[in-house]
């Protein structure tokens, strides 16, 4: 009987607390407070995701978790060391994140409210149109570069952000066109030796440095561009396209696998399947096709990792 009474007493106390919180809720100020905090957190996440800062934050979070474990098992010496470290935590954070904090302030100073991501909803129809036009322009440029044996390396960003890669080159942020692709990879261009990163249907950056694959089982004739394409595809979900300067052959890398000697038409089909959602007539759900159809085509020769 006492257990039942205690249970209902706890329920009553909980309801009283909830009702008290609701009664003290100021709709305008509290809602505005929540909105401001949400915007700040959202913009901070956008700023650090895809960069080394995010890895640093993960490391700090793991240290915090380790500290809780140490405290729970009463490891006094280790707890003292952690406590000494975290006493100056604010100063450490300011030192570690000084470039990012400066970037945040500069970004807030440049932008208006409509530029913040939470207010900037993307129109899916316009987005798909932009991406389709970019893919068409790119494949036209690739066909030209293949004929003239102009070397090229282009990364199509997908879900995994590649801001760290973009930061190694020059930010372009321009509408894509065949002429612009050809101009960037023209042999006398200052940016022709690096990679181009395409993000959300726009040429985001050029002259970027990609990580080389560590795979030693690759064919010996593969040059730096192909090895960089494979390396980038090993570390992200991007599709990386290569045009060989020696042979003019078109290749692409995905998930660490290199598919060589494809046509511009096959490349266009692949990119559209990868980056444009298509509605399934059977179940009315959006899906994205994989690479299996391209792998099975006669025009493509697949080099595994």
The number of folded domains in the chain is 2
Listed residues 90, 119, 148: the one ending a domain: 119
State phi, psi for 299 to the nearest 5 degrees. -75, -15
Task: Say whether both 109 and 141 belong to one domain.
Answer: no
Task: Say whether both 145 and 292 belong to one domain.
Answer: yes
Side-chain-side CA neighbours of residue 72 (13 Å)? 6
Task: Say whether both 90 and 104 belong to one domain.
Answer: yes
Task: Say whether both 18 and 106 belong to one domain.
Answer: yes
Task: Say whether both 106 and 70 belong to one domain.
Answer: yes
**Consecutive 10-residue averages of pLDDT for the chain (305 residues):** 63 74 69 81 66 67 83 82 72 69 59 48 72 95 95 92 90 94 91 91 94 87 91 91 94 92 94 70 39 44 45
Task: Say whether both 21 and 135 belong to one domain.
Answer: no
Q: Which residues contact 30 (CB under 8 A, 6 or more apart)?
A: none
Task: Say whether both 112 and 213 belong to one domain.
Answer: no
Task: Say whether both 74 and 219 belong to one domain.
Answer: no
Domain, as residue range, for 146: 124-303
Q: Do residues 273 and 132 make contact, with C-beta atoms less than 8 angstroms apart?
A: no
CATH (domain of 207): 3.40.1700.10
Structure tokens at 255: 């998930």
**pTM of the full structure:** 0.57
Listed residues 119, 151, 184: the one ending a domain: 119
Listed residues 119, 146, 166: the one ending a domain: 119
Q: Do residues 100 and 54 make contact, with C-beta atoms less than 8 angstroms apart?
A: no
76-87 vs 52-72: helix crossing angle, rounded to 10 = 140
* CA-to-CA separations, 207 to 52, 182, 190, in angstroms, rounded: 20, 14, 8
Task: Say whether both 194 and 240 belong to one domain.
Answer: yes
Task: Say whether both 131 and 144 belong to one domain.
Answer: yes
Task: Say whether both 178 and 290 belong to one domain.
Answer: yes
Q: Do residues 264 and 299 make contact, with C-beta atoms less than 8 angstroms apart?
A: no
Task: Say whether both 136 and 266 belong to one domain.
Answer: yes
Enter the DSSP assignment of 74: T
């Amino acid at each position: 009987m006492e257990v039942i009474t205690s249970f209902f007493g706890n329920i009553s106390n909980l309801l009283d607390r909830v009702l008290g919180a609701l009664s003290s809720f100021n709709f305008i100020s509290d809602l505005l407070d929540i909105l401001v905090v949400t915007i700040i957190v959202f913009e901070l996440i956008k700023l650090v995701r895809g960069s080394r800062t995010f890895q640093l934050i993960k490391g700090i979070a793991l240290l915090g978790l380790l500290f809780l474990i140490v405290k729970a098992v009463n490891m006094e010496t280790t707890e003292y060391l952690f406590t000494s470290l975290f006493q100056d935590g604010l100063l450490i954070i300011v030192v570690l994140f000084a470039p990012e904090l400066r970037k945040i302030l500069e970004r807030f100073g440049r932008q208006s409210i409509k530029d913040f991501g939470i207010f900037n909803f993307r129109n899916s129809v316009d987005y798909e149109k932009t991406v389709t036009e970019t893919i068409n322009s790119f494949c036209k440029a690739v066909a030209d570069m293949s004929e003239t044996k102009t070397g090229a390396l282009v990364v199509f960003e997908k879900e995994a952000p590649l801001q760290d890669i973009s930061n190694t080159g020059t930010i372009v942020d321009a509408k894509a066109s065949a002429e612009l692709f050809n101009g960037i990879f023209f042999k006398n261009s200052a940016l022709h030796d690096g990679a181009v990163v395409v993000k959300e249907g726009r040429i985001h950056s050029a002259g970027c440095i990609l990580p080389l694959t560590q795979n030693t089982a690759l064919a010996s004739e593969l040059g730096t561009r192909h090895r960089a394409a494979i390396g980038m595809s090993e570390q992200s979900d991007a599709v990386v396209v290569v045009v060989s300067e020696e042979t003019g052959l078109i290749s692409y890398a995905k998930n660490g696998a290199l598919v060589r000697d494809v046509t511009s038409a096959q490349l266009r089909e692949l990119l559209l399947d990868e980056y444009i959602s298509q509605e399934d007539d059977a179940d009315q759900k959006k899906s994205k096709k994989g690479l299996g159809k391209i792998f099975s085509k006669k025009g493509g020769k697949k080099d595994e990792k």
